[in-house]
Protein backbone atom coordinates (compact mmCIF):
# COMPACT_ATOMS: atom_id res chain seq x y z
CA UNK A 1 0.00 0.00 0.00
CA UNK A 2 1.36 3.39 -0.99
CA UNK A 3 1.94 6.03 1.72
CA UNK A 4 -0.62 8.80 2.12
CA UNK A 5 0.28 12.29 0.90
CA UNK A 6 -0.90 14.77 3.52
CA UNK A 7 -1.81 18.44 2.93
CA UNK A 8 -3.76 21.16 4.72
CA UNK A 9 -6.46 21.25 2.07
CA UNK A 10 -7.46 18.82 -0.65
CA UNK A 11 -9.39 19.72 -3.81
CA UNK A 12 -10.83 16.87 -5.88
CA UNK A 13 -11.58 18.01 -9.43
CA UNK A 14 -9.44 20.51 -11.32
CA UNK A 15 -12.25 21.86 -13.50
CA UNK A 16 -13.47 25.42 -13.47
CA UNK A 17 -14.45 25.58 -9.79
CA UNK A 18 -11.61 23.47 -8.39
CA UNK A 19 -8.95 25.23 -10.42
CA UNK A 20 -10.42 28.65 -9.56
CA UNK A 21 -10.27 27.80 -5.85
CA UNK A 22 -6.70 26.52 -6.25
CA UNK A 23 -5.69 29.70 -8.05
CA UNK A 24 -7.19 31.80 -5.28
CA UNK A 25 -5.34 29.80 -2.60
CA UNK A 26 -2.11 30.10 -4.60
CA UNK A 27 -2.34 33.89 -4.56
CA UNK A 28 -4.02 34.49 -1.21
CA UNK A 29 -1.89 36.70 1.06
CA UNK A 30 -1.17 35.13 4.43
CA UNK A 31 1.13 36.85 6.88
CA UNK A 32 1.84 33.70 8.87
CA UNK A 33 2.20 30.94 6.30
CA UNK A 34 0.82 29.62 3.07
CA UNK A 35 -1.26 26.45 3.57
CA UNK A 36 -0.41 23.39 1.53
CA UNK A 37 -3.06 22.58 -1.07
CA UNK A 38 -3.29 19.39 -3.12
CA UNK A 39 -5.46 19.38 -6.26
CA UNK A 40 -6.36 16.07 -7.90
CA UNK A 41 -7.74 15.72 -11.42
CA UNK A 42 -8.45 12.54 -13.35
CA UNK A 43 -7.13 14.19 -16.51
CA UNK A 44 -4.95 17.28 -17.12
CA UNK A 45 -6.81 20.61 -17.19
CA UNK A 46 -7.75 22.27 -19.40
CA UNK A 47 -9.38 19.29 -21.10
CA UNK A 48 -12.74 18.29 -22.61
CA UNK A 49 -13.83 15.70 -20.05
CA UNK A 50 -15.77 18.05 -17.76
CA UNK A 51 -18.41 20.71 -18.17
CA UNK A 52 -15.96 23.61 -18.47
CA UNK A 53 -14.36 23.03 -21.88
CA UNK A 54 -14.91 25.14 -24.99
CA UNK A 55 -13.64 28.46 -26.18
CA UNK A 56 -16.33 30.82 -24.92
CA UNK A 57 -18.99 31.43 -22.25
CA UNK A 58 -21.36 34.35 -21.70
CA UNK A 59 -21.34 36.51 -18.60
CA UNK A 60 -24.48 38.49 -17.76
CA UNK A 61 -25.33 40.69 -14.78
CA UNK A 62 -29.07 41.24 -15.24
CA UNK A 63 -29.76 37.61 -14.54
CA UNK A 64 -32.74 35.71 -15.90
CA UNK A 65 -32.18 32.72 -13.63
CA UNK A 66 -32.86 34.81 -10.53
CA UNK A 67 -31.86 38.09 -8.92
CA UNK A 68 -30.01 36.16 -6.20
CA UNK A 69 -27.18 35.65 -8.69
CA UNK A 70 -26.61 39.32 -9.47
CA UNK A 71 -24.22 40.19 -6.63
CA UNK A 72 -22.21 37.05 -7.41
CA UNK A 73 -22.08 37.98 -11.11
CA UNK A 74 -20.89 41.49 -10.30
CA UNK A 75 -18.11 40.15 -8.10
CA UNK A 76 -17.21 37.61 -10.79
CA UNK A 77 -16.85 40.31 -13.45
CA UNK A 78 -14.58 42.30 -11.14
CA UNK A 79 -12.47 39.19 -10.59
CA UNK A 80 -12.27 38.40 -14.32
CA UNK A 81 -11.04 41.90 -15.05
CA UNK A 82 -8.55 41.62 -12.20
CA UNK A 83 -7.25 38.37 -13.71
CA UNK A 84 -6.88 40.15 -17.05
CA UNK A 85 -4.76 42.86 -15.47
CA UNK A 86 -2.59 40.37 -13.60
CA UNK A 87 -1.97 38.08 -16.57
CA UNK A 88 -1.95 40.60 -19.41
CA UNK A 89 -4.28 38.26 -21.34
CA UNK A 90 -7.50 39.24 -23.11
CA UNK A 91 -10.02 37.15 -21.16
CA UNK A 92 -13.26 39.13 -21.48
CA UNK A 93 -14.79 40.60 -24.63
CA UNK A 94 -17.43 43.27 -23.87
CA UNK A 95 -19.68 42.38 -26.79
CA UNK A 96 -22.83 42.98 -24.77
CA UNK A 97 -25.53 40.33 -24.40
CA UNK A 98 -28.99 40.53 -25.96
CA UNK A 99 -31.71 38.57 -24.15
CA UNK A 100 -34.60 37.76 -26.49
CA UNK A 101 -38.02 36.24 -26.04
CA UNK A 102 -41.73 37.00 -25.83
CA UNK A 103 -42.45 39.81 -23.38
CA UNK A 104 -44.34 37.37 -21.15
CA UNK A 105 -41.45 34.87 -20.99
CA UNK A 106 -40.38 34.42 -17.33
CA UNK A 107 -36.71 34.68 -18.31
CA UNK A 108 -37.16 38.10 -19.92
CA UNK A 109 -39.27 39.30 -17.02
CA UNK A 110 -36.62 38.19 -14.54
CA UNK A 111 -33.83 39.88 -16.51
CA UNK A 112 -35.76 43.14 -16.34
CA UNK A 113 -36.67 42.66 -12.67
CA UNK A 114 -33.06 42.01 -11.62
CA UNK A 115 -31.91 45.09 -13.57
CA UNK A 116 -34.47 47.23 -11.72
CA UNK A 117 -33.59 45.75 -8.33
CA UNK A 118 -29.85 46.37 -8.72
CA UNK A 119 -30.06 49.50 -10.87
CA UNK A 120 -28.23 47.82 -13.73
CA UNK A 121 -28.14 49.50 -17.14
CA UNK A 122 -30.46 47.56 -19.46
CA UNK A 123 -31.83 48.71 -22.79
CA UNK A 124 -35.30 47.43 -23.64
CA UNK A 125 -36.39 47.29 -27.26
CA UNK A 126 -38.88 45.51 -29.47
CA UNK A 127 -37.99 42.76 -31.92
CA UNK A 128 -38.19 44.98 -35.00
CA UNK A 129 -35.98 47.63 -33.40
CA UNK A 130 -33.49 44.93 -32.40
CA UNK A 131 -33.35 43.68 -36.01
CA UNK A 132 -32.72 47.19 -37.24
CA UNK A 133 -29.89 47.70 -34.77
CA UNK A 134 -28.34 44.25 -35.34
CA UNK A 135 -29.13 43.23 -38.93
CA UNK A 136 -28.07 39.66 -38.24
CA UNK A 137 -31.45 39.15 -36.54
CA UNK A 138 -34.85 38.73 -38.21
CA UNK A 139 -37.28 39.41 -35.36
CA UNK A 140 -40.91 40.50 -35.40
CA UNK A 141 -43.07 42.49 -32.99
CA UNK A 142 -43.84 39.41 -30.89
CA UNK A 143 -40.28 39.38 -29.57
CA UNK A 144 -38.77 41.62 -26.91
CA UNK A 145 -35.11 42.40 -26.39
CA UNK A 146 -33.21 43.35 -23.25
CA UNK A 147 -29.67 44.43 -24.07
CA UNK A 148 -26.95 44.64 -21.44
CA UNK A 149 -23.90 46.46 -22.80
CA UNK A 150 -21.67 45.61 -19.78
CA UNK A 151 -22.07 41.89 -20.44
CA UNK A 152 -20.00 39.85 -22.88
CA UNK A 153 -17.93 36.79 -23.60
CA UNK A 154 -15.36 34.98 -21.47
CA UNK A 155 -12.47 33.19 -23.17
CA UNK A 156 -12.63 29.87 -21.31
CA UNK A 157 -9.51 28.13 -22.57
CA UNK A 158 -7.34 31.19 -21.93
CA UNK A 159 -8.75 31.51 -18.42
CA UNK A 160 -8.13 27.87 -17.54
CA UNK A 161 -4.64 28.03 -19.01
CA UNK A 162 -3.90 31.16 -16.95
CA UNK A 163 -5.06 29.48 -13.76
CA UNK A 164 -3.07 26.37 -14.57
CA UNK A 165 0.10 28.37 -15.16
CA UNK A 166 -0.31 30.26 -11.88
CA UNK A 167 -0.97 27.07 -9.94
CA UNK A 168 2.02 25.37 -11.55
CA UNK A 169 4.22 28.26 -10.41
CA UNK A 170 2.84 28.23 -6.89
CA UNK A 171 4.98 27.19 -3.93
CA UNK A 172 2.05 25.95 -1.84
CA UNK A 173 -0.41 24.45 -4.36
CA UNK A 174 0.30 21.15 -6.12
CA UNK A 175 -1.78 19.89 -9.05
CA UNK A 176 -1.59 16.13 -9.55
CA UNK A 177 -3.00 14.98 -12.88
CA UNK A 178 -4.07 11.50 -13.93
CA UNK A 179 -5.41 11.04 -10.39
CA UNK A 180 -8.89 9.52 -10.64
CA UNK A 181 -10.38 9.42 -7.16
CA UNK A 182 -12.45 6.28 -6.65
CA UNK A 183 -13.05 6.41 -2.91
CA UNK A 184 -13.50 8.93 -0.13
CA UNK A 185 -13.50 8.02 3.53
CA UNK A 186 -13.49 9.94 6.81
CA UNK A 187 -10.48 9.41 9.08
CA UNK A 188 -10.84 8.41 12.72
CA UNK A 189 -8.83 11.42 13.90
CA UNK A 190 -10.70 13.83 11.62
CA UNK A 191 -10.31 14.84 8.02
CA UNK A 192 -10.69 12.71 4.92
CA UNK A 193 -8.68 10.40 2.73
CA UNK A 194 -9.04 10.06 -1.03
CA UNK A 195 -7.91 6.90 -2.79
CA UNK A 196 -7.11 6.95 -6.51
CA UNK A 197 -7.61 4.20 -9.06
CA UNK A 198 -3.87 3.53 -9.13
CA UNK A 199 -3.68 3.17 -5.34
CA UNK A 200 -2.29 6.59 -4.46
CA UNK A 201 -3.80 8.14 -1.35
CA UNK A 202 -4.19 11.76 -0.29
CA UNK A 203 -5.56 13.21 2.93
CA UNK A 204 -6.39 16.57 4.48
CA UNK A 205 -8.37 18.02 7.35
CA UNK A 206 -10.60 19.94 4.96
CA UNK A 207 -11.75 18.91 1.51
CA UNK A 208 -13.46 20.46 -1.52
CA UNK A 209 -15.05 18.05 -3.98
CA UNK A 210 -15.88 19.68 -7.32
CA UNK A 211 -15.70 16.56 -9.47
CA UNK A 212 -18.53 17.13 -11.94
CA UNK A 213 -20.23 13.91 -12.99
CA UNK A 214 -18.27 11.97 -10.35
CA UNK A 215 -19.45 14.10 -7.43
CA UNK A 216 -22.67 12.20 -6.71
CA UNK A 217 -21.10 8.70 -6.84
CA UNK A 218 -18.23 9.73 -4.54
CA UNK A 219 -20.60 11.23 -1.97
CA UNK A 220 -23.05 8.31 -2.20
CA UNK A 221 -20.36 6.08 -0.72
CA UNK A 222 -20.45 8.34 2.36
CA UNK A 223 -24.22 8.01 2.63
CA UNK A 224 -24.89 11.44 1.09
CA UNK A 225 -27.37 11.51 -1.76
CA UNK A 226 -26.99 14.43 -4.16
CA UNK A 227 -29.85 15.09 -6.62
CA UNK A 228 -27.63 15.51 -9.69
CA UNK A 229 -28.38 14.48 -13.26
CA UNK A 230 -25.85 14.31 -16.08
CA UNK A 231 -27.17 15.61 -19.42
CA UNK A 232 -25.58 15.45 -22.87
CA UNK A 233 -25.65 18.82 -24.63
CA UNK A 234 -24.71 19.99 -28.13
CA UNK A 235 -23.48 23.17 -29.75
CA UNK A 236 -22.03 24.04 -33.14
CA UNK A 237 -20.27 26.64 -35.25
CA UNK A 238 -21.58 27.90 -38.60
CA UNK A 239 -20.35 30.00 -41.48
CA UNK A 240 -21.35 33.63 -41.09
CA UNK A 241 -20.76 36.98 -42.76
CA UNK A 242 -19.44 40.27 -41.40
CA UNK A 243 -22.72 41.20 -39.71
CA UNK A 244 -22.00 38.47 -37.13
CA UNK A 245 -18.60 39.78 -36.04
CA UNK A 246 -18.08 40.79 -32.39
CA UNK A 247 -18.06 44.48 -33.28
CA UNK A 248 -21.56 44.31 -34.77
CA UNK A 249 -23.31 41.35 -33.10
CA UNK A 250 -23.68 40.61 -29.36
CA UNK A 251 -23.77 37.41 -27.44
CA UNK A 252 -27.34 36.31 -26.88
CA UNK A 253 -29.88 34.19 -25.10
CA UNK A 254 -33.09 33.32 -26.94
CA UNK A 255 -36.33 31.88 -25.61
CA UNK A 256 -38.78 30.58 -28.20
CA UNK A 257 -41.98 29.01 -26.88
CA UNK A 258 -41.96 26.42 -29.67
CA UNK A 259 -38.26 25.78 -30.33
CA UNK A 260 -36.78 26.01 -26.83
CA UNK A 261 -34.02 27.98 -25.11
CA UNK A 262 -30.77 28.80 -26.91
CA UNK A 263 -27.58 30.80 -26.44
CA UNK A 264 -24.97 32.00 -28.88
CA UNK A 265 -21.89 34.03 -29.73
CA UNK A 266 -20.65 36.21 -32.56
CA UNK A 267 -17.92 34.96 -34.85
CA UNK A 268 -14.84 35.48 -32.66
CA UNK A 269 -11.38 35.17 -34.22
CA UNK A 270 -12.87 33.57 -37.33
CA UNK A 271 -14.14 30.52 -35.40
CA UNK A 272 -17.63 30.90 -36.84
CA UNK A 273 -21.04 31.77 -35.44
CA UNK A 274 -21.65 29.58 -32.36
CA UNK A 275 -25.05 28.45 -31.08
CA UNK A 276 -26.20 25.83 -28.59
CA UNK A 277 -29.38 24.67 -26.92
CA UNK A 278 -29.69 25.25 -23.16
CA UNK A 279 -32.77 23.16 -22.38
CA UNK A 280 -33.51 19.56 -23.39
CA UNK A 281 -30.67 17.02 -23.89
CA UNK A 282 -30.10 13.32 -23.27
CA UNK A 283 -29.70 11.95 -19.74
CA UNK A 284 -26.55 9.91 -19.10
CA UNK A 285 -25.21 7.90 -16.19
CA UNK A 286 -21.90 9.02 -14.66
CA UNK A 287 -19.09 7.63 -16.77
CA UNK A 288 -21.37 6.69 -19.67
CA UNK A 289 -19.97 7.53 -23.10
CA UNK A 290 -21.45 10.61 -24.75
CA UNK A 291 -22.61 10.12 -28.31
CA UNK A 292 -20.76 12.32 -30.80
CA UNK A 293 -22.38 15.39 -32.34
CA UNK A 294 -24.72 14.29 -35.11
CA UNK A 295 -25.42 10.83 -33.67
CA UNK A 296 -28.89 12.10 -32.79
CA UNK A 297 -30.85 13.60 -35.72
CA UNK A 298 -32.00 16.54 -33.59
CA UNK A 299 -28.41 17.61 -32.90
CA UNK A 300 -28.32 19.56 -36.13
CA UNK A 301 -32.04 19.96 -36.80
CA UNK A 302 -32.85 21.89 -33.61
CA UNK A 303 -30.05 24.40 -34.19
CA UNK A 304 -30.91 24.79 -37.86
CA UNK A 305 -34.55 25.58 -37.04
CA UNK A 306 -33.49 28.55 -34.94
CA UNK A 307 -31.11 29.76 -37.62
CA UNK A 308 -33.77 29.46 -40.31
CA UNK A 309 -36.28 31.39 -38.24
CA UNK A 310 -34.16 34.16 -36.78
CA UNK A 311 -30.66 34.38 -38.30
CA UNK A 312 -30.80 34.98 -42.06
CA UNK A 313 -27.08 35.54 -42.57
CA UNK A 314 -25.83 32.36 -40.92
CA UNK A 315 -24.62 29.77 -43.41
CA UNK A 316 -23.48 26.17 -43.50
CA UNK A 317 -22.47 24.07 -40.52
CA UNK A 318 -18.73 24.02 -39.89
CA UNK A 319 -18.60 21.52 -37.04
CA UNK A 320 -20.40 20.57 -33.85
CA UNK A 321 -19.41 19.33 -30.41
CA UNK A 322 -20.88 17.82 -27.27
CA UNK A 323 -20.57 18.74 -23.62
CA UNK A 324 -22.38 17.89 -20.42
CA UNK A 325 -24.48 19.69 -17.86
CA UNK A 326 -24.64 18.39 -14.31
CA UNK A 327 -28.14 19.53 -13.34
CA UNK A 328 -29.98 19.92 -10.08
CA UNK A 329 -33.80 19.56 -10.08
CA UNK A 330 -34.29 23.33 -9.87
CA UNK A 331 -31.21 24.13 -12.02
CA UNK A 332 -29.66 26.21 -9.25
CA UNK A 333 -26.21 25.39 -7.92
CA UNK A 334 -25.45 22.86 -5.20
CA UNK A 335 -22.80 24.17 -2.79
CA UNK A 336 -22.76 22.92 0.79
CA UNK A 337 -20.84 21.26 3.61
CA UNK A 338 -22.78 18.00 4.20
CA UNK A 339 -20.14 16.72 6.64
CA UNK A 340 -17.84 18.87 8.77
CA UNK A 341 -14.81 19.72 6.67
CA UNK A 342 -16.31 18.30 3.45
CA UNK A 343 -17.43 21.00 0.99
CA UNK A 344 -19.18 20.04 -2.24
CA UNK A 345 -19.64 22.23 -5.30
CA UNK A 346 -21.57 20.95 -8.30
CA UNK A 347 -24.84 20.93 -10.17
CA UNK A 348 -23.99 24.12 -12.02
CA UNK A 349 -26.63 23.25 -14.61
CA UNK A 350 -24.96 24.88 -17.59
CA UNK A 351 -24.68 28.41 -16.19
CA UNK A 352 -21.87 28.15 -13.67
CA UNK A 353 -18.66 29.09 -15.46
CA UNK A 354 -19.33 32.84 -15.52
CA UNK A 355 -19.26 32.77 -11.71
CA UNK A 356 -16.11 30.66 -11.34
CA UNK A 357 -13.81 33.56 -10.50
CA UNK A 358 -16.02 34.63 -7.59
CA UNK A 359 -16.90 31.10 -6.51
CA UNK A 360 -13.23 30.14 -6.49
CA UNK A 361 -12.64 32.99 -4.08
CA UNK A 362 -15.59 31.96 -1.86
CA UNK A 363 -14.71 28.26 -1.88
CA UNK A 364 -11.06 28.97 -1.13
CA UNK A 365 -11.99 31.19 1.80
CA UNK A 366 -14.45 28.55 3.04
CA UNK A 367 -11.69 25.93 3.08
CA UNK A 368 -9.40 28.21 5.07
CA UNK A 369 -11.85 29.84 7.47
CA UNK A 370 -14.38 27.07 7.92
CA UNK A 371 -17.20 29.53 7.25
CA UNK A 372 -19.33 29.85 4.12
CA UNK A 373 -19.99 33.24 2.58
CA UNK A 374 -23.60 34.37 3.27
CA UNK A 375 -24.23 34.69 -0.45
CA UNK A 376 -23.94 30.92 -0.88
CA UNK A 377 -26.76 30.09 1.53
CA UNK A 378 -29.35 29.65 -1.22
CA UNK A 379 -27.37 26.81 -2.80
CA UNK A 380 -27.51 24.41 0.17
CA UNK A 381 -28.55 20.79 -0.17
CA UNK A 382 -31.31 21.10 2.42
CA UNK A 383 -33.59 22.95 0.01
CA UNK A 384 -34.38 19.64 -1.70
CA UNK A 385 -35.74 18.01 1.46
CA UNK A 386 -38.33 20.68 2.23
Q: Any residues with CB less than 8 A from the CB of 216 and at least 6 apart, and which? A: 225, 226, 228, 286, 346
The answer to whether residue 43 is catalytic is no
The answer to whether residue 56 is catalytic is yes
The answer to whether residue 332 is catalytic is no
Name the active-site residue from 52, 60, 195, 323. 323
Q: Classify the phi-psi angles of 88: left when phi > 0, otherwise alpha if psi is within -120 to 50, otherwise beta.
A: left
C-alpha to C-alpha distance for 344 and 1, rounded to whole angstroms: 28
Residue length, the chain? 386
Q: How many CB atoms lie within 10 A of CB 221?
A: 11
Name the active-site residue from 214, 232, 274, 332. 274
CA 250 to chain centre: 20
The answer to whether residue 274 is catalytic is yes
Name the active-site residue from 52, 57, 206, 232. 57
The answer to whether residue 189 is catalytic is no
The answer to whether residue 323 is catalytic is yes
Backbone angles phi, psi at 277, to 5 degrees: -100, 130
Name the active-site residue from 75, 243, 278, 351. 278
Name the active-site residue from 4, 52, 53, 116. 53
The answer to whether residue 57 is catalytic is yes
Rg (CA), the chain: 21
Going from the C-alpha of 372 to that of each of 70, 330, 341, the distances in angstroms are: 18, 21, 11
Strands lying side by side in the sheet with 152-155: 56-59, 152-155, 92-93
Q: Which of these, 133, 353, 339, lies nearest to 250 by C-alpha position?
A: 133
Angle 269-326-369 (CA atoms, 0-180°, nearest 5)?
95
DSSP structure class, residue 1: -
Residues labelled as active-site residues: 53, 56-57, 274, 278, 323, 354
Amino acid sequence: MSPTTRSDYLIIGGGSMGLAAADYLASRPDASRQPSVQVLDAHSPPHDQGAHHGETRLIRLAYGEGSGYVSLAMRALDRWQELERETGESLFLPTGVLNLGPAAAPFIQQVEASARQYDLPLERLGGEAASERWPGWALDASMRGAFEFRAGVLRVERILASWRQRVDRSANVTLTTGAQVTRLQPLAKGGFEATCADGRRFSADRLLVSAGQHLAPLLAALGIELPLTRVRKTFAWFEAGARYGPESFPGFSLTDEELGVYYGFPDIDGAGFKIGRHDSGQILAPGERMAAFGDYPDDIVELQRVIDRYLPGVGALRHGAVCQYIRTPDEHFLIDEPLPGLIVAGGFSGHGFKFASALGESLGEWLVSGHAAPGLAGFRLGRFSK
